[in-house]
């Protein structure tokens, strides 16, 4: 565990704000801007008051304990009183227990909006509010060169084929395998450029940026609000070019319905011990994105009021679901590590934000890239079951990768606000 030194005498104030305009346009040219935005709503932040990095199977508990201790010591003045006001930390956790880099980052300035109500939260050290920085123009990526990552497409196909063989032999039911791709520019990549392209193309997804991990996810791992919990499970995918009636094909696919049922069942099994009520749909719906369509199920529950789990405790209970891990969980995680042979980092881990009351939102870090100066490491993956076809899964991963490739190469840059 690594904790950045904390300043003393910290105060934090949240106050209402007139319409701030497009939230992403407020981000200054920080190396690692902070974002969780869907349509007109969400949160953006910059500057850094504090951070903690954690590793290991107890990383959620360690982060939760640190966050509780940190917020208890603050002098808080909250004039809004809604989830996401007061102190907030942006969160991003690794997929695997042993992978380093899980982090909570507390921004010095945060601007947020929900349902037409906007607010600003600023930390100070007894010296008045923090200054809102001027916004410099967003830098396009320029010419990009693509190269194989740690697991190229050919290796990914072999991994899928081996996973299918083991599933047909009865070793496990499902595993979600992924591969990576590198994109390199001539200058450091601007996370705001990538965020803007993703937000325009995928307005119904959550466009996120935490500590260099930038992406747009359609999947809500867990949302906690005033004693309730909600989750959106996505599993089962089809993409344009596979026929005319994509929703009908997806709903009628035994392979995709089976994959989806495994993901929903794993999530529900993890949440039930923490809830007094849990509503799980019997039949999935279909959500359509520009590049793919998914089977989706929205799960809702009421937390046990005797021991209401915090957002990070909920994340510890449900991650990884079968949607991004597999079934049985332990066998799938071991298979992923063996066949991928790479560290996923924070790809497919929980990402989002948490407030001082333990409320917040954590999506699953899908359709993402880890930025490191001029290099972006892109990820995409698929749920593999016994009926999976390796060539089809390669095409599905490529369709999912389109989101990041298009956003990185987008030539339509919105003007930055001064």
Q: pLDDT digit string (tens) for 23-63? A: 999 999 877 899 999 999 999 999 999 999 999 999 999 99
Alpha carbons 344 and 231: distance in angstroms, whole number: 23
DSSP-assigned beta bridge partners for residue 77: 13
Respond yes or no: is residue 79 known to be catalytic.
no
* Residue of 72, 122, 162, 219 marked active site: 219
For domain 2-409, give the CATH superfamily: Anthranilate synthase (3.60.120.10)
pLDDT in tens, the chain (418 residues): 777 656 667 899 999 999 999 999 999 987 789 999 999 999 999 999 999 999 999 999 999 999 999 999 999 999 999 999 999 999 999 999 999 999 999 999 999 999 999 999 999 865 455 556 667 889 999 899 999 999 999 999 999 999 999 999 999 999 999 999 999 999 999 999 999 999 999 999 999 999 999 999 999 999 999 899 999 999 888 877 655 677 888 899 898 898 889 889 999 999 999 999 999 999 999 988 887 888 999 999 999 999 999 999 999 999 999 889 999 999 999 999 999 999 999 999 999 999 999 999 999 999 999 999 999 999 999 999 999 999 999 999 998 898 899 999 874 444 333 2
Q: pLDDT (tens digit, 9 = 90+) per residue, 175-202?
A: 999 999 999 999 999 999 999 999 999 9
- With contact defined as beta carbons under 8 Å apart, do 123 and 12 qualify? yes
Alpha carbons 285 and 291: distance in angstroms, whole number: 17
The two three-digit tokens of residue 203, written as one number: 């307005």
Which regions of 226-365 does DSSP assign to beta strands (E)?
A: 228-238, 275-279, 285-288, 293-303, 326-327, 350-355, 360-364
Alpha carbons 52 and 311: distance in angstroms, whole number: 17
Cα separations in angstroms, 36 against 18, 209, 365 = 20, 7, 12
Q: Are strands 174-184 and 145-148 parallel, antiparallel or unpaired?
A: antiparallel
> Could you tell me which of 153, 174, 189, 185 has the C-alpha nearest to residue 380?
153
Alpha carbons 47 and 151: distance in angstroms, whole number: 35
Strand, helix or coil for residue 219: coil
* Residue of 174, 259, 361, 393 marked active site: 174
DSSP-assigned beta bridge partners for residue 105: 51, 90
Cα separations in angstroms, 375 against 215, 346, 388 = 15, 16, 32
List the domain boundaries for the chain: 2-409
The two three-digit tokens of residue 373, written as one number: 């100066």
Respond yes or no: is residue 219 known to be catalytic.
yes
Buried b (16+ CB within 10 A) or exposed e, 2-11: eeeeeeeebb
pTM summary value = 0.92
Alpha carbons 271 and 269: distance in angstroms, whole number: 6
């Amino acid at each position: 565990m690594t904790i950045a030194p904390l300043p003393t005498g910290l105060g934090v104030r949240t106050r209402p704000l007139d319409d701030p305009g497009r939230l992403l346009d407020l981000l200054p040219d920080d190396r690692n801007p902070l974002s969780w935005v869907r349509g007109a709503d969400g949160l953006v932040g910059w500057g850094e008051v504090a951070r903690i990095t954690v590793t290991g199977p107890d990383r959620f508990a360690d982060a939760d304990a640190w966050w509780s201790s940190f917020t208890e010591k603050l002098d808080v003045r909250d004039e809004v009183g809604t989830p996401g006001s007061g102190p907030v930390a942006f969160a991003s956790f690794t997929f695997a227990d042993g992978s380093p880099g899980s982090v909570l980052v507390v921004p010095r300035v945060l601007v947020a909006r929900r349902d037409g109500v906007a607010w600003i939260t600023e930390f100070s050290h007894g010296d008045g509010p923090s200054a809102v920085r001027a916004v410099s123009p967003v830098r396009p990526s320029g010419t990009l060169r693509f190269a194989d990552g740690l697991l190229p497409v050919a290796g990914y196909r072999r991994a899928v084929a081996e996973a299918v063989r083991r599933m047909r032999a009865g070793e496990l039911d499902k595993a979600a395998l992924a591969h990576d791709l590198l994109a390199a520019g001539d200058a450091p990549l601007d996370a705001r450029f990538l965020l803007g392209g993703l937000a325009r193309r995928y307005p119904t997804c959550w466009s996120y940026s935490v500590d260099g991990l930038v992406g747009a996810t359609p999947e809500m791992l867990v949302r906690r609000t005033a004693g309730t919990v909600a989750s959106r499970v996505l599993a089962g995918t089809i993409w344009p070019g596979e026929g005319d009636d994509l929703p009908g094909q997806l709903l009628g696919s035994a392979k995709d319905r089976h994959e989806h049922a495994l993901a929903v069942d794993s999530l529900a099994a993890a949440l039930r011990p923490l809830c007094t009520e849990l509503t799980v749909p019997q039949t999935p719906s279909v959500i359509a994105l520009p590049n793919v369509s998914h089977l989706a199920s929205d799960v809702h529950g009421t937390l046990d009021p005797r021991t209401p789990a915090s957002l990070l405790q909920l994340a510890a209970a449900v991650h990884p679901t079968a949607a991004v891990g597999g079934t049985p969980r332990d066998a799938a995680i071991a298979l992923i590590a063996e066949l991928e042979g790479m560290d996923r980092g924070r790809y497919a881990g929980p990402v989002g934000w948490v407030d001082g009351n333990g409320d917040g939102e954590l999506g699953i870090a899908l359709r993402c890239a880890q930025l490191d100066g001029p290099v972006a490491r892109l990820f995409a993956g698929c749920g593999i079951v016994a009926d999976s076809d390796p060539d089809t899964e390669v095409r599905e991963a490529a369709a999912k990768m389109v989101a990041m490739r298009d956003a990185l190469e987008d030539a339509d840059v919105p003007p930055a606000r001064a």
